[in-house]
A and B are shown apart, each in its own frame.
Chain A
Amino acid sequence: MSIPVKHSKELIVGLSLAAAVVVFALGIRFLQDVPLFRSTYVLYTHFESAGELSGSSSVRINGVNVGTVGDVRLDTDNRVRIRLHLNDSIHIPEGSHAEIGGISALGNNYVVIFPGPPGNPPIADGGYIEGVSEQDVFEAVTERSVRLTENVEEALANANLLLEDTGLLIGETGADIRPTLRALREVTDALARTLREEQESVQEIISNVEIVSKDLARISGTSADTLAQTLQRLDHIAMYLENSLETLEGTTRNLDDILDKINNGDGTIARLLNDPTLYINMGSTLATLDALLKDLQENPRKYLRHMDIVDVF
């Protein structure tokens, strides 16, 4: 198909202009992150402050871009009314809310939607989603930094006072410190002199120590086997002792048990120890026996007479 020559210029100019209009319109939609040809899911929300939000700021759910801010304007009640254009594949359930996220200092603010329970019915197109205003990070940081600065200033003032006091202290006691330092220097000098004078002796001592350590090394080298054997024996003994200790512990435990029983009054010995009646009985028995023996000593015939064995003699 050939373009009629008569209209070719008009056609080319017309096509160029039309292309420019299309590119311009689609370019804006593209940079706004709005679907180029599809319609959008529109929601409205209110915030106390727009916080640097502007048309084309992004709208995110869990960090994923799902649309853009279409329009930011002041409502009749001085609250900020924001229109959100979301991808129409997204459905926001009832009970969701929106917040402003990002760092306003960098102007990179966006709207964050926190979806409500997934079972809830979706908010209708053109519906309202609750906007929750939160203090943004930068404001919070600024507020805290003011407090921090105040604290730092206070600390610096205190440090200044302290330094002044220290200065005064040094100034006052300067006279005392100086002789001390002089004396210290004299002591150090004396020490250095002594060390110089006694250098030979010190060297001698060091060489002696060296000889001793060498001897020790030799001895330990030659008697290494004996030492090893001794150590082995000691090891055996230690093991034996350990076993004995275990046995002893067992015995002690048994004894403990027995003593516990005795204390609690279980068993014969316990009763023997704890029951006073036995003692009383024994006392009376012994007294009776004593009387009997006395009687036997005094009148042996009285008892021996009845014994047949005596009769044998």
Chain B
Amino acid sequence: MTYSLAWFLHPFTILGKYSLLIFQAFVSPDDFRTYRKNIFDQMMRIGVESIPIVALAAAFSGAVTTVQVSYQLVSVFLPATVIGSVVAPSMILELGPVVTGFILAGRVGARIAAELGTMRVTVQIVALEAMGLNSISYLIAPRILAGIIMFPMLYVAACAIGIGGGIAVANLGGYLTTQEFIQGARNFFRPFDPYFGLSKAFVFGFIITSVSCYMGYFTAGGAEGVGKSTTQAAVMSCVFILIADLVLAVTLL
């Protein structure tokens, strides 16, 4: 009985611990200037250095969606522009944020968890505390800030490159012309869609960095613990991205 109650309450314990960690990270007595340099470092690592892999994934997503939509929607009753009408909103609403999110969950989430986990198991975090720094603010706040600022930037890049990839394949594969693609994309374009995608990107950026920071910061068990935290950071980020994706779609659309 006690065991099942503990099992039932465990997720809430984790949620509380997680919330307190994030709260402490931003309610810091330290001056912003203390970790200003750290923020730009994280922005470079999380954002700018992720551009190539995000661009690659987005370009291929756009291209594959275009080919598959062309394959599925072959009908005399449907104009070729329909392909553009499907691919562009798909990239803007779903593929752009989610593909970018998954890639960053692996690339950025694992990295953050590994960094913080190693610092924890090698007692560097304790050393920071000993030096009088607030380790939570110093280590976690810059990463989360960098995530929520840079992730929307990566989302914009992913959408632009993904639609570009779709247009390129549509042209090269002879499925439809650039004009037809753009005409189709414009036909069903709603100005709210990019803002919705941007809010998803903002939320996903927060989820990936905060979950990974939590996993890394509370690492225990030496090298093995670091490995476990790293894996969990990537997996849990992906799981929460999917949940958040659904919640946002249900609430905002």
- Using a CB–CB cutoff of 8 Å, the interface residues on chain A facing chain B are 9-10, 12-13, 16-17, 19-20, 23-24, 27-28, 31-33, 54-56, 58, 65, 107-108
Judge if B147 is at the interface, Cβ distance under 8 Å. no
Q: Which of the residues A10, A27, A32, A54 comes within 8 Å of B156, measured between beta carbons?
A: A27
Q: Point out which of B149, B160, B187 has the most chain A C-beta atoms below 10 A from its C-beta.
A: B187
B191 touches A13 (CB 8 A): no
Q: How far is the CA of A107 from the CA of B187 in the complex (A)?
A: 9
B188 touches A9 (CB 8 A): no
Q: Which residues of A contact B192 (CB under 8 A)?
A: 55
Judge if B97 is at the interface, Cβ distance under 8 Å. no
* Nearest A residue to B149, CB-CB: A17
Q: How far is the CA of A20 from the CA of B194 in the complex (A)?
A: 12
Top 4 A-B pairs ranked by shortest CB distance? A20-B153, A20-B156, A31-B189, A13-B43
Q: Which residues of A contact B88 (CB under 8 A)?
A: 31
Judge if B44 is at the interface, Cβ distance under 8 Å. yes
Q: How far is the CB of B119 from chain A (nearest CB, A)?
A: 21
Q: Which of the residues B48, B160, B194 comes within 8 Å of A16, measured between beta carbons?
A: B48
Q: Which residues of A contact B176 (CB under 8 A)?
A: none
B191 touches A56 (CB 8 A): yes
B43 touches A107 (CB 8 A): no
Q: How far is the CA of A33 from the CA of B185 in the complex (A)?
A: 10
Judge if B190 is at the interface, Cβ distance under 8 Å. yes
Q: How far is the CA of A202 from the CA of B233 in the complex (A)?
A: 101
Q: Point out which of A10, A16, A23 has the most chain B C-beta atoms below 10 A from its C-beta.
A: A16
A28 touches B194 (CB 8 A): yes
Q: How far is the CB of A32 from chain B (nearest CB, A)?
A: 6
* Nearest B residue to A26, CB-CB: B160
B187 touches A58 (CB 8 A): yes
How many contacts A-B (CB < 8 Å)? Answer: 60
B157 touches A54 (CB 8 A): no
Cβ contacts B81-98/A at 8 Å (1 or 0 each): 000000010000000000
* Nearest B residue to A57, CB-CB: B187
Q: How far is the CB of A56 from chain B (nearest CB, A)?
A: 5
A23 touches B186 (CB 8 A): no
Q: Which residues of B contact A9 (CB under 8 A)?
A: 40-41, 43-44
Q: How far is the CB of B177 from chain A (nearest CB, A)?
A: 16
Q: Which residues of B contact A20 (CB under 8 A)?
A: 152-153, 156-157
Q: How far is the CA of A313 from the CA of B249 in the complex (A)?
A: 157
B152 touches A32 (CB 8 A): no
Judge if B139 is at the interface, Cβ distance under 8 Å. no
Judge if B51 is at the interface, Cβ distance under 8 Å. yes
Judge if B58 is at the interface, Cβ distance under 8 Å. no
A24 touches B194 (CB 8 A): yes
Q: How far is the CA of A12 from the CA of B44 in the complex (A)?
A: 8
Known A17-B149, A33-B186, A65-B186; further 12 A-B contacts with Cβ < 8 A: A13-B40, A13-B47, A16-B153, A17-B153, A20-B156, A23-B157, A23-B160, A24-B198, A56-B190, A56-B191, A107-B188, A108-B187
Q: How far is the CA of A19 from the CA of B192 in the complex (A)?
A: 21
Q: Which residues of A contact B121 (CB under 8 A)?
A: none
Q: Given A32-B189, A56-B189, A107-B188, does the pair A27, B43 have CB atoms closer than 8 Å?
A: no
Judge if B159 is at the interface, Cβ distance under 8 Å. yes
